[in-house]
Each structure stands twice: as structure tokens, then as C-alpha cells.
Amino acid sequence: MAKLLNYQQSGSGKDIILIHGLFGRLENLNMVAKALAENFRVTSVDVRNHGNSFHHSVMNYPAMAQDIADVMQHLAINSAVVLGHSMGGKIAMELALTTPELVEKLIVADIAPVEYPPHHSQIIAGLKSLDFSVIMQRKDADKQLAKYVDDVGVRQFLLRNLSTENGQLTFKCSIDNIAKNYPQIMKTYQGSNSYQGPTLFIKGANSDYILPEHRTEILRLFPQSRARVIQGAGHWLHAEKTIAFNRSVEGFLAN
């Protein structure tokens, strides 16, 4: 039997599934889940090697999309709206392109169906350097990580993965598995399908993850797609501009 991702559910009604990004966990999308739960049954997941989900040495998009399909089967969800941010958006796209019958509508937050150059090497090096034999408090971990990651906001985001187990601080993500699979995580969909269902790409105006040159590939794979731009937001657009992000999602789902 397949291992099942950790998940949380809230609300009732038609189903929507939320998938977080790299180094995240399901709580990252709580403000989206809370708003959607007023009208939908929301299932938020921890991706493999993240949060409270299982760790696994394989971490490619076909495997991660199958994880979502397994959760849906477990919960007897025949079809759902699927919303993913960043890496979670790529998982959502993979699911829609390979098993379109499972995806009623698709929402992709600030990621394109393209291969990206590696750009997390300092983060991975910093996380691998954390020495929990001497880290007693969050501030100790922050001090170590600051040698590799200058941005305070990024460090705060990463350090949300700190957890205490048996009195010892640990890191929820499997950094070794993520590091080993990082080239796979940067890749994009490898098949030839297209998804014909309604699709919304939401871009942070200050983010460079979705660029004009990606438009052709987006329309090739997702011919029924439309785009929204959130002004004043970067890559973490759902956290930076939650009201505007939720309004975009709700408007798309109302049609």
C-alpha cells in the first residue's frame, strides 16, 4: 500500500486541494485555506520530505503527483480544484497533465511549466550545515543559517520547519533527499499532453518566476488558461497580499 501524505481538512462542499512549495509545509497556505473553507472542503497536504509527511529518496514530479492522487483516492475525492504554489504548482500541473480527470480546475501560483536554473544552492548548503548538537534555540539556528542566507524573511520562512522532538530541535524537511533530488525539482513536465480544463496562473508583479517568454509554453500545455497579476507582491504572493490573492482565486472559482 502506498504511503499517504500528511493532510488536514477544513470546511465542507466541493473539494479543493492546496499544495505548498519547496521547504514549505501545509500551514504556509493556512490563510488561503481559511478563506476557501467558507465555501469548500479544503484538503491541505504536506509534500513528501516536508512537514509531517514521509521521507523518500525519490522526489520527482510524477511521484509527487501520484502522492496527491493517492490522497484523493483515500478520501474518495473523484475530482477537485487543485491549487499549488511554486513547486506545489508544478505538482498540480503534473497531476492535471497526467490525470486530467482528477482536476476540475487548476490554479498555479507564481511558477511556470519550464525548467529553472538552480537557485537554492546557498539555502541547501546552509540547511545542511545546521548542527543540532549545538543548536538549543531558534536564534542559534538563525545565526548559523545567516552565514549562508542574508535575507531575514527567507530565514524566518525556512526556520518554520524547526520542531522539537524528545527535547531536541530538529528540521522537518529531509534536506538530504531534497538536495539529492534538487535537479529533478527544477525540471518541468516531460510528456506531450495538454490540460483542457480551466486554469488560472497568478503571478506576483515583483517576481520573476513567470516571464513573458513563458507564455507560449503555458498556452501550449494549458490552452484554457488565463492570468492574474498581484501588484506589490513577490514570489510569496499569497502571504504578502492575502486578500488580493484570495479574491483572485474566489473570482476564478465563481465562474
Of 53, 235, 238, 248, the active-site residue reads 235
Through-space distance between the first and last CA atoms of the chain, rounded to whole angstroms = 38
Residue 227: in which H helix or E strand, if any? Answer: strand 225-230
Q: Is 176 a catalytic residue?
A: yes
Q: Is 133 a catalytic residue?
A: no
Distance (Å, whole) CA 205 – CA 187: 23
Of 176, 194, 214, 225, the active-site residue reads 176
**What does the block give as the cell for 58?**
525519490
Type of residue numbered 132: F
Of 44, 86, 207, 248, the active-site residue reads 86
Three-state secondary-structure class, residue 110: coil
**What does the block give as the cell for 128?**
545542511
Phi, psi of 106 (to 5 degrees): -125, 135
Distance of alpha carbon 190 from its chain centroid, rounded? 19
Q: Is 110 a catalytic residue?
A: no
Give the largest CA-CA distance in the chain.
54
Type of residue numbered 24: G
Distance of alpha carbon 129 from its chain centroid, rounded? 24
Residue 203 CB contacts under 8 Å (≥ 6 apart), including other chains = 110, 209, 210, 227, 228, 229, 230, 237
Distance (Å, whole) CA 32 – CA 49: 22
Helices H / strands E in the chain, number of each: 10, 9
Q: Which residues are catalytic?
A: 86, 176, 235
